Amino acid sequence: MISQVQKTSFVSLVGAGPGNPRLLTLRAMRRLKEGEIVLHDALGTREILDLLPAPVRRVNVGKRAGRHAIPQEEINRLLVNLALRGRRVVRLKGDDPAIFGRLEEEMTALADAGTPYEIVPGITTASAAAASVGLSLTMRGGYNS
């Protein structure tokens, strides 16, 4: 649970899952509604951004095939600086934040600055895709060909 002190200066590294707002975790949705500034990826976040309250500031920090809205080092600095100014920051990452998301770099920057943060996992796209077509990712006893 986040204390009142942490609420004034805190970063949530939130997974958007496969980008379907109905597949956001309750915790992810709560953090998005509590945030003051959302730094978001380019992929898997558009429909989710539409759910944010009007006063929430949205900052595109997404990367696409060699085109970066903001270099990673600047994203790290932005996360730290906003938190140090007492803002509630959400870093919305496509899929699960621990997969393909440079999570380690962002966590290191926050930890080095003494900034409190949390990781809010998203539903991994692989499991969401399997569920959408009615497949199980595991089978007791294995699969037979």
User: Residue 95 — left, alpha, or beta (φ > 0 → left; ψ -120 to 50 → alpha)?
Assistant: left
Residues facing 15 on adjacent strands: 93
* Residue 60 burial (CB count, 10 A): 13
Spatial distance between the Cα atoms of 135 and 99, rounded to a whole number of angstroms: 22
CA 137/CA 126 separation, integer angstroms: 9
The catalytic residue among 7, 63, 96, 112 is 63
- Which one from 41, 93, 95, 96 is the annotated catalytic residue? 41
Does the active-site annotation cover 63?
yes
Q: Find out whether 19 and 45 touch, Cβ atoms under 8 Å.
A: yes
DSSP-derived letter for residue 101 is S
Phi–psi pair at 95, nearest 5 degrees: 65, -135
**Is 41 tagged catalytic?**
yes
Indicate which residues carry an active-site annotation.
Answer: 41, 63
